[in-house]
Structure 1
Amino acid sequence: MKKSLPAIAPGLPLGLLLGLSTAAPRAFAQEAAAPALEAAASLNAGDTAWMLTSTMLVILMVIPGLALFYGGLVRSKNMLSVLAQVFTIFALITVLWAIYGFSLTFGGTGLFYGGFDKLFLAGITPDTLSATLGTIPEYVFVAFQSTFAAITVALIVGAFAERMKFSAVMIFSVLWFTLSYIPMAHMVWGGGLLAEDGALDFAGGTVVHINAAVAGLVGAIMVGKRIGFGKEAMPPHSLTLTMVGASLLWVGWFGFNAGSAGAANGIAGLAFINTILATGAATVAWLVAEGLHKGKASMLGAASGAVAGLVTITPAAGLVGPMGSIAMGVIAGPLCLWGVSGLKRLLKADDVCDVFGIHGVGGILGAILTGVFCAASLGGVEPEGFSMAAQVWVQCKSVLITVVWCAVASFLCFKVADLLVGLRVSEEDERRGLDIAVHGERAYVS
């Protein structure tokens, strides 16, 4: 029997209002949400506790999870530079989110941007309940969404690691957050263009992963290849730290995906188990493919496969059934392995941490397969009036719009940063390593 949207989540979780409600025109979403909003407009301690916990889990994903994952993949002379970039970006973007990001994303009803009515979090008090999620304080919703913005920008730095100026990274981050993250988040989750079209994105396949991956690819191309790339070995300096980082990412991702249900309910439970299963399936599938291709299954492959699974299930986490999540993981492992090998060679870009190969390929795959595996016949949570062919077409359009918007915005942001301070460090500084040349510190002292 088909599941209608209002019945899925009585507590109006984020998965409904920001994801599932986009499966129909805005008129349907407003009609379905109106009575539920009236019923749900009271504080729920369980929902609030879960959203606070989820917010902390997403912070764990960024610092230290993403920082250590990327840090282990670069050479030891650039370890601290990656940690500094991720750490500082998190601090910077969360502040900008409170000043204007939240308002422009969730404060209005434009096609590409919201409004200015909540600049500086105007009108929000400790007693204010979220207009989107009626069972939690609005401050909690603001905090949760700030972590999504921060991790999206931080994801990009892995592509141009080891050769970009710290000042240029910060300038780019401010511009890109404003010109790419905010409009994409509004278009998908804030009732904008893609929401009106019916695009499904439960926790950020387009908004986070494809968005960041395209920016990373554009950056890797514009900054240029590292000195010696393709001529000398540049292996990761610590797969131990990469494994620790990947593990923290997996743990934190439960807040990322299950937290996107917006409530402590069954949809959160579905997203939770899907985050376990898709990740496990992708890890095993990557290692099998790697073993068949190279003759050995590596720890780096296991960590990369896990992240590929996490990325792929993100847009579908609360929309597909457990068996669907396993199927998505099985497909994601080998496909993302090709993304960091065959596709990377075709693109001829020095994407150090394989941001596009994993987040781009996995994000595109997940966004499209969401339209397939959300079908009730395949165990998914099917939107009312669902047609698989129509939904897959909507998903493909959302991917194309994300890629084009982000590519153009990213080019402009990198160009402005280049004109202001220059993108790349000097050849001498690059050879010395950014830790000493830019930050005056060493990750390791012998």
Structure 2
Amino acid sequence: MPSPVDSPAPGSVTPQPWKARAWQELEAARRRTLDMLAGLPEAELLRQHSPLMSPLVWDVAHVANYEEQWLLRALRGPSLSDPSLDAVYDAFRHPRSTRSALPMLAPEAAFAYAARVREAVREHLEHLPEDSPLPLLQGGFVFGMVAQHEQQHAETLAATLQLMTTWEYRPAARALPRPGAVPLHEVFIPGGTSLQGTSAAWAYDNERPAHPVHLAPFFLDAHPTTNGDYLVFVESGGYEDPRWWHPSGWAFLQSEDIRHPLFWARLGPRTWSRRRFGFVEPLPRDEPVQHVCWYEADAYARWAGKRLPSEAEWERAATGGSPGPRAFPWGQALPTPAHANLGGQAWGPAPVGAFPEGQSAEGLWGLLGDVWEWTASDFDGYPGFRPHPYREYSEVFFGPGHKVLRGGAWASAPVAVRNSFRNWDLPIRRQIFAGFRCARDVP
């Protein structure tokens, strides 16, 4: 729950103008949410399509309630809803598998609530000063937090729609570049001290503070592991050989009878398909593999004689070892469709090598977009971590139970990806849009 309006931060400086960007990002997130759910019958919006995911309409009212709490009440704006809604839409109080039994708002009421909150936020934003010394408003932090939150739920909605089998959801996808064959190779990353983390205005607490890390030299694959690469592992018996698997991963594999990535299907001795939303199509071997859990990524890396990179190694590769801040692999320019496959309009990964403008300084491709990349690291706070503005965003998930993912997926919004951004999930999660790339020690 939000605290009262923060007191001014000691020694705070006048931030740069942020209000125009804040409104633009809030509206972009809302358009995406509405477009994704347009045309779905009420029954599908209310249905629990998987115990792993909320009913679609729960997410709609949840993002509205979160927005009301942080952009209105926490900033001394109006309170629009019955406080009982706070409990219904509290993500920490109710596991996803139980949310269909809650007294949720019906779809029409949920969308109306979201619109009502947004209009009140628009009016309230007009009266907020650009140069407020309040920590929540420094650089527009709390507005960036809410815009990113809604975009992260849009990605969650996409995962739910992928799991949906009671309605044929066939979105119109943006065409993607189709490059020729791309040689797969490793890139040498020199060792030394680099900076991990950021102080960017819209960064989350778990990305802070920026701090030096020392790394030994290593090799990192220039591209994420592709479906074609991973298929060799599957067809060579990788899922039947416990040598490659973490013991907990092997137990998970056996308990769930898993023999290949989620949504793959074998049609013949050498013929495979995948289900992508309402489409069943031949498995595209030149795209990054997705819908693999951490255990599957780790097993492949072992089988290939490699390993998963640590998140510090991944971030060092993304920043190129630059002594100054480098927000994205290609530099400081905000992501565009020429840099990476982001924003959700493609509804799937692009072939590797599709975005030459998105290369890092050292020749690594696809570090942002297409698929989240599992790392070897447990999710924990950086040295000097301080929760802000509430513990439940990051701190309650710290520890060995969650693994870090980096880079963002095709379903991730540009506003919510950067070199320093840290995602995390349980090592058994397969419904998320996650893949990986491998690393190797220098002999």
Write 1 or 2 for the structure with the bigger share of strand: 2
TM-score by length of 2: 0.27
Larger-Rg structure: 2
Highest relative contact order (Cα 8 Å, sep 6+), 1 or 2?
1
TM-score for both structures, normalised by structure 1: 0.27
